[in-house]
Structure 1
Amino acid sequence: MNRRIFTRTSCALALAALAPLASAQGWPEKPIRLILSQPAGSGADAMARLIGDQLSKKLGQPIIVENRPGGQNAIGAQAAAKAPPDGYTFYFATAAALVMNQYLFKALPYDPRKDFIPVGMVGRVPFAVSVNPTSQFKSMHDLVSFARANPGKLDVANEGPKTFSGMMVGLLSSQLGVKVNSVPYASVSAGVTDTVGGQIEVIVSDVPSISQMVKAGKLRPLAVTTAKRISGWESVPTIAETLPGFDYAGWIGIVAPAGTPPAVVQRFNREMEVVLSDKEMAARLLAIGPMTEGAGTVAQMGTFLDGEHQRWAKLTKELGILPE
């Protein structure tokens, strides 16, 4: 009798273990949602739709981009976190949604670490320190020299103290040993407009937001925040050339609700890798914003996220930023 019960139990456990694999073999059988926290028409929206279109061709089902903006990414993140983990919802997530928010806000309607599992990396978004073309600053050395000689007199536009650009201003001030006047703007476009118009001399912003102004000669970049010079901007130095080891960039990755079948995640990751490894696709994405080097593996994405949590926990502590 005990042997019979043991055999039945073993069979049941084996079938339960195989269930996700079996369900994944027929996946996908219907359209897939790709949720993002940015509005329609934004740069992230353009990226999601471009990638989603190519993924749909690989998977044989439509990828429906669903915009859930607002709440410092919390609305979209919560919608993705609470979605059924059946392989038909994925989250097109920013660094803020998956990492930074945890160290900036006391309470979130989702848990960045527990509610999602990694799928793959989309790409990194470099930031830059730029000036009005008429500025006296021709290099980072000029800017730093002025800031040291004139504490608190250099105005630097950004999107606020708890945004990526705002924290870059704080980090640069700390590591360079200078005091600047951080000027927050409600949007990067407003900051760009004032810098182009001469109302403010310096701005820290993501590269995609200023690329057209740079091409038109209305802004002059002094340095980028990534460790290596970026494609198309090879003449622009990196901050790391002044501060060795400095390497910061925004990024976008894809995650799934925790509990999504591993076989589904692996399949989605493989198709992401194929799509993002295409040179034409990489060039099209770069024109919008991110630099991609492929999706990487699921394990690599997980390791990357762990490293980012360690980095931002340390950075917010260094800058004295407390969750609110």
Structure 2
Amino acid sequence: MMSKDIKTLLAQKLADNNARHANANQSTYLDVGNELKRLPLDKIKSNPFQPRTVFDETEIANLAESIKEMGLLQPITVRETGLGDYELIAGERRFKAHELLGKTHIDAIVSRASDSEIAILALAENASREDLCDYEIAQALRNIEKHFPNKSRLAEAVGLDRKEMYRYLAYHDLPTSFLDKVATKPKLLSRSAAYDIKQVLNQFKFSEQQTDEVLSRVWELLELGKLEQGRIAEFIQSESLKELKSQIYCPPVAAPDIKPILSGGKPIGKFHHKGKKYVVEINAKDLDEQQRIEIEQFIETLMTKNVSS
């Protein structure tokens, strides 16, 4: 959720916009060059800069009931697209409530506004409601970023300092597979938690598979209510330490190359490599003096042949 100061700034932008459009006869958004019209619903398209990703059906139903009883107290705001239809600037809930009521037309202020103005107004209108979450604001900021020369100008336009701006934009540096989960329940991950995740992932340099695994675990615990957002970075750090410990091991010692020496099917010694040596071991008790002499002579003769060849 946005800080109080930021919400206040955006609320003021919305109030200023409303005041500019007010006149003595209409408590609506009229201004020079703007028109109040009754438009067909099927000619109105959604706002491409709408920050809200999830609409509460109960809230829409309650609003529809209110409109049914009292009428539409505040027209929606749209702009012409140049293709014979209109694009919502503000009032998507009111628009959806009219659809729910089966209405065919709605009162609308047709305004002349640039993309950046529409984006800021849409964000300001939604930010005035307590349930707009950080992820939805981040999506809106990403959508309108291209309409500003740099992030500093964008931050200035919406009343954010640079630090807060980068916290919101941190969502979009997280893996797509994780963001797909966040989009289903956007209130589970705050901008601060998103920023912490980005920082700790950059610190530990997980592989793609390790990242997916640890973030899947993070999301599972968040959904179960078993992990506080403020402790996500700590959890990922602990998982990284487990991974490091699993990689610390003694290299396996190669099995020695051993060949038994048999006599009548009974082992009496062995041939084996020992470092750079080839060792012949025979139990002394299994040799008599003559056998010992013959073995020594055989080895001397064998090695003499190797040297001479």
TM-score (structure 1 length as normaliser):
0.22
Higher relative contact order (CA 8 A, sep 6+): 1
Q: Which has the higher helix share?
A: 2
Q: What TM-score, normalized by structure 2, do the two folds share?
A: 0.23
Return the index of the structure with the highest Cα Rg.
2
